[in-house]
A and B are shown apart, each in its own frame.
Chain A
Amino acid sequence: MGFLRGVLRSTLPFLIGIPILLVLQAVLDEAGRQDLSLIAIFAAINVVLAVSLNVVNGFTGQFSLGHAGFMAVGAYTAAKITLAFRGSQMLGLPEDLSGQVVFFLALLAAMFNAAIAGFLVGMPSLRLRGDYLAIVTLGFGEIIRSVIENLKTLGASTGLSGLPRLTSVTWAGVGALATVIMARRLAVSTQGRALFAIREDEVAAEAMGVDTTGYKVRAFVISAAFAGLAGGLVVHVLQLSTPRSFTFIRSIEVVVMVTLGGLGSITGSIVAAVGLTVGLELLREVQQYRMVVYAFLLIALMLLRPQGLFGTREIWDLSLFRRFPWKKLGVATTPGPAGVAPTEAGEGEPGGPP
């Protein structure tokens, strides 16, 4: 009984979220709006990327530029698995359902492998700080990509094509939901506070009993796992996995999203990720000048609001939104004075238990 309640508590957001996503998907399909579905999928994948990078760059205050590398690891892992099981039926399930099960397992494997890659990269490089760490992670990201480019089994520079189109609005949405819940639960837990402490003052954190190296590596591993998830999702939309999708430009895009939204702010990352995806989609002609747009956005940001849209705060901490009944939604926990991070333990998840 207690166990069941525990399972329910930890999965409640999904139990609420998945039906909503299924309905949304059905509505979009019914209306025949493939274009809208695609935008929603890419927005959700970008949420996964931005929020997971925020765990390292925002929560822990380390500067990683290697997110695309971990994405690539996840992408190729998932692609290999779905290709291998293509057309086969597992457990005597109908082909459709079997494909979904395979996809689920493929995504888990993608997360696992990306996590391992994160661990291997994180162990040696997290002794470095700031710019040095950025350079090393950038280097590792590029190494991962060039290794793939030279591996025949992974299709070398042409990549793997003919992947089934498995990523639906629901899958991408569940991925985003999982990432946000992970980040949020981390932020209100003692482990999350240890990460914040590292960001604020590494020497003091260490002196207060926080194993700073260990925690940095763990943050890195978790972040990499979700980058792997995003990789697995993205190649099953494009139906193609090439090294070109995972250049360091991709990492920069994610960094831009996180910085725009505010380092350390989960809602900020979500808003920035969705905003940038939708915004660039609306301005199709601008697509090829994307990097120029990013550059201008960042310059404007640094001049007008150096701490990012929300700073380290969440949307419910902003005065503009404070009157909204967040508490009734079970989201915000301290409606108190300005800039106070939610503090109540374990009760702050979006859609969490009342």
Chain B
Amino acid sequence: MSEPALDLSHVTMRFGGLRALVDFSLSLYPGELVGMIGPNGAGKTTAFNAVTGVYAPTEGEVKVAGERVNGLRPHAICTRGVARTFQNIRLFRQLTALDNVRVACHAGAQSGFVDSLFLTRNHRAEEQRILERGEEYLKVMGLAHRRDELARNLPYGEQRRLEIARALATGPKVLCLDEPAAGMNAAEKIELMALIRSVRDRFGLAVLLIEHDMRVAMGVSERMIVLDHGLTIAKGRPEAIRKDPKVIEAYLGDAYLEEKHIAVPVGGPGAST
């Protein structure tokens, strides 16, 4: 493996006095699927926002395929190959499924307003290309039959899938999925994770996945990173993470450890709920 698709080194995000993310480092290579877990408020979404340009990191460096992207606006980072989904679905609700995906195909469009207003050959070629790509990504995510349906009318699970299709359509190297399985039942989650894996293999993506549900995250990730209160408390393979007392404590709190007769570290972070 040559260079990482996504490389974060010592990223710190500070909001006034609050340190939402401290000294966060992560290298993500093409074809890897890394899960990021942690209790509420651990800094997972903050890490995502630092990667995708919603915030510029206070300290540290974010590199996409070797290029430094600190402080670039989200659309610029997107065209450099980082796509994301949102924790609370943010589709273009009044647009059709196809148009949702086609908006994302716009990244890197060659034709401009003038082409569109005068219907140049450039414009027509571009539209044709975008149409084909849009339909392809809908098919990949099993949404071809919903092509002309408004996004807001899709059932919840399909909206989640459409968000992934839309993210894929930007042609990313890195795909950041913010709780893609939130609100799904166990069977749907398993199905979705299998889909994510197949998509990863097909497009050779590096996938960074936030997942609240430990079991799902363990099942799908090859490597994991665990955050709590902005700190990276564990990194490694799922089997190792599962046994890590710090992870167990962060997730289940002191009460669980006491019950299991495991020593509670003095002055450690309180039980998170």
Contacts and interface: CB of A to CB of B under 8 A. Distances in A.
A192 B106 contact: no
Given A200-B93, A200-B95, A339-B150, A205 B103 contact: yes
A208 B99 contact: no
A197 interface: yes
Interface string A314-354: 00000000000000000000101101110101100000000
A265 B82 CA distance: 34
A308 B133 CA distance: 34
29 contacts: A6-B121, A10-B119, A182-B117, A189-B123, A189-B127, A190-B105, A190-B127, A193-B95, A193-B102, A196-B95, A196-B99, A199-B94, A201-B90, A201-B91, A203-B90, A204-B86, A204-B91, A206-B75, A207-B54, A207-B84, A208-B83, A208-B170, A209-B108, A210-B75, A211-B73, A336-B148, A340-B148, A340-B149, A343-B99
B107 A208 contact: yes
B6 to A, nearest CB: 16
A199 B93 CA distance: 10
Interface in A185-236: 185-186, 189-194, 196-197, 199-201, 203-212, 218, 222
Nearest to B163: A204
Contacts of A208: 75, 78, 83, 103-104, 106-107, 166-167, 170
Contact of A222 (B113, B127, B131): B113
A32 interface: no
A196 B96 CA distance: 11
B75 A346 contact: no
A211 B113 CA distance: 14
A94 interface: no
A124 interface: no
A2 to B, nearest CB: 7
Contacts of A194: 103, 106
A191 B114 CA distance: 10
Contacts of A9: 119
Contacts of A339: 150
Given A2-B121, A218-B113, A345-B127, A196 B148 contact: no
B78 A209 contact: yes
Nearest to A183: B117
A284 B119 CA distance: 43
Q: Which of A190, A197, A203, A204 has the most CB of B within 10 A?
A: A190
Given A207-B74, A345-B127, A346-B123, A189 B116 contact: yes
A201 B92 contact: yes
A185 B104 contact: no
Nearest to A202: B90
B124 interface: yes
Interface of B: 52, 54, 73-76, 78-79, 83-84, 86, 90-96, 98-99, 102-109, 111-113, 116-121, 123-124, 126-128, 130-131, 148-150, 166-167, 170
A161 B150 CA distance: 52
Contact of B116 (A191, A201, A336): A191
Given A337-B148, A337-B149, A193 B99 contact: yes
Given A193-B95, A343-B96, A6 B106 contact: no
A185 B91 CA distance: 24
Contacts of B124: 345-346
A189 B106 CA distance: 10
Nearest to A186: B116
Contact of A10 (B92, B93, B118): B118
B116 to A, nearest CB: 4
Given A6-B120, A203-B90, A209 B127 contact: no
A318 to B, nearest CB: 15
A25 interface: no
B48 to A, nearest CB: 10
A288 to B, nearest CB: 39
Contact of B96 (A185, A218, A341): A341
A167 interface: no
A330 to B, nearest CB: 13
Contacts of A196: 92, 94-95, 99, 103
A174 B123 CA distance: 24
A60 interface: no
Contacts of B75: 206-212
B150 A340 contact: yes
A218 B103 CA distance: 17
A197 B95 contact: yes
B112 A191 contact: yes
Given A205-B103, A209-B107, A337-B148, A190 B93 contact: no
Interface string A1-28: 0100010011000000000000000000
A346 B119 contact: yes
Contact of B102 (A190, A204, A218, A222): A190
Q: Which of A6, A194, A196, A197 has the most CB of B within 10 A?
A: A197
A209 B96 CA distance: 18
A312 interface: yes
Contacts of A182: 117
Nearest to A206: B74
Nearest to B111: A190
Contacts of A212: 75
Contacts of B118: 10
A210 B167 CA distance: 13
B128 A345 contact: yes
A292 B123 CA distance: 45
A185 B148 contact: no
Contacts of B148: 334, 336-337, 340, 343
Contact of A204 (B73, B92, B107): B92
